[in-house]
Structure 1
């Protein structure tokens, strides 16, 4: 499976990307605003990538590498996690710090939401971000998701309780 945007390929990870995942996702700035493991080790990255083939085949999780078309560089990850029982998907993502503020996450999120609604026939797609992460909140809005509410002190993240903003969309809304 592979999706395309104007500037990106969204495709399954391969093990040759593991070291770059560690470099990008392991950055403390990325860890501060996301739920990626920290510290992020090569072993964790390799095990995570090893799981992808089965997840995609079972259509339960679609973790796709965001690869720049012009350079072949890994930018980050765009994931859709399926909930078959409720016919919905959770959009989740991270972008490496060198690529922040370039619109890559928004571009990939729009494509992933379209994939979820058009190809997978999902009824609902939702996403959540730490309330103090304005860049992620913008991505959700640009992807067509609407603010649904704030979950106060919903997660214990990096030593403190943090609020989570939830966004969502219904197919054909």
Structure 2
């Protein structure tokens, strides 16, 4: 009897998790309910949260969306592989989001090389630059170098060079207003 009850609860929990996942995806505008096609305008770049990144990852499963995404990336590319790779990453990730990543991941940070968007950028670069004089191995090395430079620059922007996120600006503004109110109340 107890086993049956536990099994039923487990099945119900699984079904609820699936339902929540579908509701979240449809609420983010990733899926049109009638056609099951991806809405290419639902995801706004640069991505600012991990949830937006997950939406992009889900959207990249759709071939039409992936082709549209690669076309966007090709518009950012120039004659240099490193500059093109960095431009693509800057287009996709905001500095705040990039700050929580490294190329291959560490104990405290995620690795961007494990994501579909990263492999999509790699394949777009390879198809754009591959030739007899520029083998795929060289392109992948340039992508890795540019990725590390981009992630390092993002960390510098967020931590060292006075980059202030919206939350930090809001808390600073609240602190300033509180100080002004305290100053005016003590002077009267």
Same fold at TM > 0.5: no
Considering fraction of residues, name the structure with more strand: 1
TM-score with structure 2 setting the length: 0.27
Considering fraction of residues, name the structure with more helix: 2
TM-score with structure 1 setting the length: 0.29
